[in-house]
Amino acid sequence: MKKNMGSADRIIRVIIAAIIALLFFTNVITGTVGIILMVLAGVFLLTGLISFCPLYAPFGISSCAVKDKS
């Protein structure tokens, strides 16, 4: 897998995952919505850690910094 996420994108995803987890474990969000958001947080955390977003690939999106070939 080729990396397609930049540093800012990764940091934002990990922060969002942490916020969702915090809200879930403090019972601010509960029930079905809480479970769905925790699954989303898990996906955000996983994609943030491996620097690859499967939804970016089909659309050719990449938030990685462009490396100069000079």
Q: What is the pLDDT of residues 7-38, one digit of tens each?
A: 999 999 999 999 999 999 999 999 999 999 99
Q: pLDDT at position 61, please?
A: 85
Is residue 1 domain-resident?
no
Average model confidence (pLDDT) across the chain:
90
Q: What are the φ/ψ torsions at residue 29 (nearest 5 degrees)? A: -115, 130
Is residue 45 domain-resident?
yes
pLDDT band at 45 (very low <50, low <70, confident <90, very high): very high
- Boundaries of domain holding 27: 7-52
Is residue 15 domain-resident?
yes
Is residue 67 domain-resident?
no
Is residue 12 domain-resident?
yes
When divided into structural domains, the chain yields a total of: 1
Q: 30 with 36: CB under 8 angstroms?
A: no
Place of tokens 């462009």: 66
Q: pLDDT at position 33, please?
A: 96
Instruction: Tell me the pTM.
Output: 0.83
Q: 17 with 49: CB under 8 angstroms?
A: no
Is residue 65 domain-resident?
no
Is residue 57 domain-resident?
no
